[in-house]
Amino acid sequence: MKKIIKNFLLLSLFSTFIYYSCTSDSPTSSGNSCDQVCKDQHVGYGITYLVNSIWGQNFSYVYGNVDTTVNGPKGGTAHIIGYIENYFPYTVNLTCDLLDCKDSNEYFSLTLNGPLHVTGDFSSYDKQVTLNSVSELAYKGTVGINVNASVNDTCQISINASQYSVTGTICERIFSYYYYR
């Protein structure tokens, strides 16, 4: 019986090792590197995450005309003007003028500056949102899980975000980022 338990534990440990060595939350970042594709994926995800954070903290129950300045999730401000439909899902047409607006999680730590046009639908379980820079959007910080690759650029962005994907262009570079959590 002890031999069976010992073999089971070894097999379980081996399977766990194989699983974690063959999977990654960030397939393009490994070790201490994050190439340009990896950087763009995390910047796109970070910009979308910041907009979601601002939405969740300030607008999830607001509708009608909006003209207000709110704090960024981790600092800075966002002056937001536009309109939010008063029925579910909440259809938005907003312009966010970001000033040193900061947010971070394990995949990114970014500061954004510039106007961002947000259109689409938000709900508690799904979203379909388009984010476009009105003029150039400045971003700086670090990205990549356990990598901290530096990013610092000012350019046009266009992002389409859904519940499980973020795709678009950053500085005319195409990116696609899929996540399942």
> How far apart are the C-alpha atoms of 9 and 49, rounded to whole Å?
39
Q: Is residue 40 part of a domain?
A: yes
Q: Which residue has the tokens 């610092």?
A: 152
Question: Is the model more confident about 17 or about 103?
Answer: 103
Q: Give the integer Cα–Cα distance in Å for 132 and 129.
A: 10
- 42-91: pLDDT as tens digits: 999 999 999 989 988 888 778 899 999 999 999 999 999 999 988 777 78
Residue 10 pLDDT: 29
- Evaluate whether residue 104 is within a structural domain: yes
Annotate 116-163 with three-state secondary structure. EEEEEEECCCCEEEEEEECCCEEEEEEECCCCCEEEEEEECEEEEEEC
Distance CA 42, CA 142 (A): 9
Q: Map tokens 């670090």 to a residue.
A: 142
What are 115-140's pLDDT values in tens digits?
Answer: 999 999 876 566 688 898 989 999 99
Q: Is residue 54 part of a domain?
A: yes
Q: Is 20 left (phi over 0), alpha (psi -120 to 50) or beta?
A: alpha
Whats the size of the chain, residue-wise? 181
Q: Is residue 13 part of a domain?
A: no
pLDDT at 17: 27
Q: Tell me, what's the pLDDT at 61?
A: 78
Decide if 19 is inside a domain.
Answer: no
**Mean pLDDT along residues 93-110:** 95
pLDDT of residue 126: 66
Number of domains forming the structure of the chain: 1
Token reading at 134: 């009105």
Higher confidence at residue 43 or residue 2?
Answer: 43
Lowest-confidence range among 14-18, 51-55, 146-150, 170-174? 14-18
Residue 58 domain boundaries: 27-178
Q: Would the pLDDT of 4 be above 50?
A: no
> Is pLDDT above 60 for 96?
yes
Residue 1: C-alpha distances to residues 6, 7, 8, 135, 137 (Å): 9, 10, 11, 69, 64
Whether 1 maps to a domain, the answer reads no
- Which residue type, as a one-letter code, is found at position 65? N
In a domain, 9, yes or no: no
Whole-angstrom distance, CA of residue 114 vs CA of residue 139? 9
Indicate whether 36 belongs to any domain.
yes
What pLDDT was estimated at residue 105? 93
